[in-house]
């Protein structure tokens, strides 16, 4: 879907080379925005940019480690230098590492937390400073997860970090409100990405996911990207400090969906 609602604006997306990050890039490009793809995956990032340009969009790739303050500042500077403005920043870069709580390696804990939390902080701060300097305000979108509220026994820093991102979003929204900058978060549930490839290929694991999701499927990346387009648009001009859970109803469900569509209600 394309609305051209971001015509002439500039969006910066960390972790934009693949997965949901690439879907954000494709959606904002379709909506008329200049797109800056920032990632450490240079080959995939440049491929994404090349595909966007083939489709008629204006795009730029920037290599960036979001845990490094200098690189985050340089990433934003490159975006403004190329396109003259920054209107939206999506702090999408994220990682995970699975290990039991009792055996979780300290260095892996630091890595996951640094990318997912510190990365959102450094990206948002650099973007906000550029937006304030530009005098037009803007929108910042952090990426959380349903794991901010639902415990995952094998990835302690991921859930803890995503919960931190939810509160960081609130703090940023209050701090930046007087500058005309809105800050919100998106918290996806299970989504069809490379990270879920093993799940999608395993009927048992896939059933575990869908049985906890009232819509009985995983999200398409484009469905999550559509929410980002809305939050960055004037249609969301009075929305700030919020976390939107794009989870197919997962958080509303107490137990599991019935094996039979309609459940008990279908028998009444």
- Hey, which residues are catalytic here? 145, 158, 162
Residues constituting the chain: 268
What is the layout of strands, in order, in the sheet containing 88-91? 59-63, 34-39, 10-14, 88-91, 138-143, 181-188, 243-246
| Backbone torsions φ then ψ of 194, nearest 5 degrees | -60, -30
List Cα–Cα distances, 253 to 6, 107, 215, 216, 258, in angstroms: 35, 35, 11, 12, 11
Collect all residues with Cβ–Cβ distance below 8 Å to 56 and sequence separation of at least 6: none
Rg of the chain over Cα atoms, rounded to whole angstroms, equals: 19
Give the count of beta carbons closer than 10 Å to the beta carbon of residue 55. 11
């Amino acid at each position: 879907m394309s609305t051209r609602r971001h015509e002439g604006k500039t969006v910066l997306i960390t972790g934009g080379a693949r997965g949901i990050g690439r879907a954000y890039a494709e959606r904002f490009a379709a909506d008329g925005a200049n797109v800056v793809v920032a990632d450490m995956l240079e080959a995939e990032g440049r491929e994404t940019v090349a595909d966007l340009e083939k489709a008629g969009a204006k795009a730029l790739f920037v290599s960036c480690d979001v845990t490094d303050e200098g690189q985050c500042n340089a990433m934003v500077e490159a975006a403004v230098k190329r396109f003259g403005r920054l209107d939206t920043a999506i702090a999408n870069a994220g990682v995970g590492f699975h290990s039991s709580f009792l055996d979780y390696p300290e260095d892996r804990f630091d890595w996951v937390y640094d990318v997912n939390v510190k990365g959102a902080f450094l990206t948002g701060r650099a973007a906000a400073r550029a937006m304030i300097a530009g005098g037009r305000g803007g929108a910042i979108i952090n990426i959380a997860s349903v794991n901010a509220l639902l415990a995952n026994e094998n990835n302690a820093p991921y859930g803890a970090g995503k919960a931190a991102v939810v509160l960081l979003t609130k703090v940023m929204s209050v701090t930046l409100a007087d500058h005309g900058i809105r800050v919100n978060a998106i918290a996806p549930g299970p989504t069809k990405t490379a990270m879920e490839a093993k799940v999608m290929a395993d009927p048992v694991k896939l059933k575990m996911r869908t049985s906890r999701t009232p819509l009985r499927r995983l999200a398409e990346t484009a469905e999550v990207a559509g929410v980002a387009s809305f939050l960055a648009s004037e249609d969301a001009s009075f929305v700030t400090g919020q976390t939107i859970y794009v989870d197919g109803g997962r958080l509303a469900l107490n137990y599991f969906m019935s094996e039979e569509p309609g459940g008990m209600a279908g028998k009444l």
